[in-house]
Structure 1
Amino acid sequence: MGIVTRVAGAPRRAIDRMLRRRASLPKPVNRLIDHVADHPDGLLGRLAARSLGSFGPDDIPPPTAAPDTPVRVYIAPTNYAAQGWSWARALEAVPGGRIGARNMAVEVPGGFDFPADTEVPVPVYARSVDWQRAELAAVSAFTHVLVEAERPLFGRLFSRDLLAEARVLREAGLSTAYLAHGTDVRLPSAHRELTPWSPFADAELYVDRLEREASRNRRLLAELGRPTFVSTPDLLIDVPGAHWCPVVVDLDRWREPEPPGVRERPIVVHVPSKSTIKGTQLIEPAMRELDRAGVIEYRSVSGVPSERMPELYRTADIVLDQFRLGSYGVAACEAMAAGRVVVGHVVDSVRAAAAAAGDGVALPIVEATPDTVGEVVASLAADTERMRRLGAAGIAFVEAVHDGRCSARALVDHWIGEA
């Protein structure tokens, strides 16, 4: 599916660079950017939508077809790390075969390629009224709709008003639920109280917009009054009354035929999707020092396509996850599924939620902060037997909590009901 893009790459890259350094921009510029984002139907909003590029008839995908089952679940529109697709597959694996599920994802140019039942190019999602209306008609054939990250399902069809969209879905007889993913509901001011390593304490991070959006989304979820889920357990603090729907990983994709061995000089890998958020700059000095001393071999890797990640993890002994949010997500689960030792900073409330979901199986991520990561990794490197135990414990934990069964059970128990 080829997107016809008539916007030059250089201006788009300049806009991206500007957005990444918003904290250093003058206040009037930031207010203008926020105004455009908050008023999509205004003149500047319409011009911004056109900057996403144009499209032709061949770029418009067919509407998402509902499965032929008594219960039909539609999940959209973000599919972060293929989670929308994975939750759909988890629901279809519920015994009895009465649940069918499909996901729709907005295809972001230059993003990672994740599987989805329906992929919609950004310009089509934002500007094609024909696609928006056809998708709405198709969704009316489902019985349940799970909305991800408080994003509109049908682009600008309802001026990005989720309350208006929810009314239309309700009038069509659909049962709706909402699933928060992270920054959409994570309040920076509250997170700074959760962990001293919070990235939202950084002066260079533009938190004003994040604070307003998270506050607005939390009010929206409360006003909607529908079942609400979160993808990571730390967000249970941000959305009172929400239920944890764990992220899902495909164990068969990550598991090795034989348990991995441990090298005498362990290879330590860090794959930061967002280095500032994960704390790369805080942990690398200690890792470089251990590397120079010959204790470990340190590798920081970025831009690896999703399909190559299993191969990357097979070259590692220890995977450094995230050190600032106090939680864990898909990347840590994938590394544990591969039998690798995972090190990161995880707050006690997250560990408690993980143990409860796993019927007492403890989260085996080795605790470390930016202050202690050097000491922790050096200790692991000197104890190969402990590393083997941790690797096996990681696989067992993912099997217990993140293979899809817990996720499907959460959605069924707290929303869909007996299928």
Structure 2
Amino acid sequence: MPSGKVRADLWPDVAQAPSSLRARAGGPIAKSLFQGAIKRLPLEVRFPDGSVLGLGGPRMVIADPSSFYARLAHNGLIGLGEAYMAHEWEAEDLAAVMTVFAARVSKLIPQPLQALRGAILPHQPHRERNTVSNSRNNISRHYDLSNELFAEFLDETMSYSSAYFADLDAPDFHLLASAQQAKIDRLLDLAGVTEGSHVLEIGTGWGELALRAAQRGARVYSVTLSSEQKELAERRIARAGFSDSVQIELLDYRKVQGTFDAIVSVEMIEAVGFEFMPDYFQTLAARLRPGGAVGLQAITIGHERMLATRNSYTWVHKYIFPGGMIPSAELIAEQSALNGLTVENRMAFGQHYAQTLRLWDEQFSRNAAQVDELGFDETFRRMWHFYLAYSRAGFASGYLDVQQFQLRKSKG
């Protein structure tokens, strides 16, 4: 389907390739840089004129080179994702193609040009800074899309974070729920959650962690900024008979009061933003009783790469997670120490996330008809497939990792 069939009212930057001066003047430069990079990569890139570039590997087919290069020139890697959404390039195995790019992302552009990224690439819009007033809208744009949408690719636990598999040898979807519960149980163990514990959960999700903590005999106070998640989580917890043990509130984590025996937070730190990272760790320290522990699960990135990209505005920011930033393990350790918390345990399991994302992507594809019935169009489905494949590539290549941390507050 050509990009002209994309609904311009819903997808204005996808429906038409950019025609700005930067796009027109930079198109030939983008072409030269892209083709120069491809010649060194284990890819097979095919063009409409029959020419082929690359060293061989996963196949990428460029259907509309002029629009493709205009998008790269205008918006960098944002343009790569928008070109895919617009059908200007295709891939039989999108995750495999993106993994090749992710493994070499710091070397695709010549070093002298990388120094110019801050001057020529877009920056985070002011409205997407994760201030208390902005964060609700940032979270809502993703998590309030539709509970029914997320149910079309998540397992019955409705867990939207990396699972932890007993066996990484190509697990299937039927194993995902138990692997999600294993991940949650390990995190609750790190936080020391037992019968009688008073637990703060920062980022409710759809309630599975709060439910499993309550099954241990804990009392849980969970905060979220997603009204859709809160509604479904409360229904799930009531159905399980734990409404007296779990309280869920629509509240920014910075507004929480009181102290708790344990704190758990699963892949919420990525929504905090670099600017507000001190606020997050100050909150952990202030809300945790002396001697207590935090069980933190976080997507991480290499420290130097984090520093180089912390102010970047990416395709993921624009279409999936506004205002986010992936921290490094070093940043987590540094901010923990500044606030009297010690990292006592850390486990990395990035390849488990690659498998989790594979299973989500396959399930999403299987349920394409149901997604259509929910009112999400074909451009949305291509966007979501790109998001899941793009994310999977990050973990499969080692560019990204996911880690569980145990942070301890001293007794003194």
User: Which category of TM-score, normalised to the shorter sequence, fits these structures?
Assistant: 0.3 to 0.5
Which is bigger in relative contact order (C-alpha 8 A, separation at least 6)?
A: 2
TM-score (norm. length: structure 2): 0.33
Per the normalisation by structure 1, the TM-score is 0.32
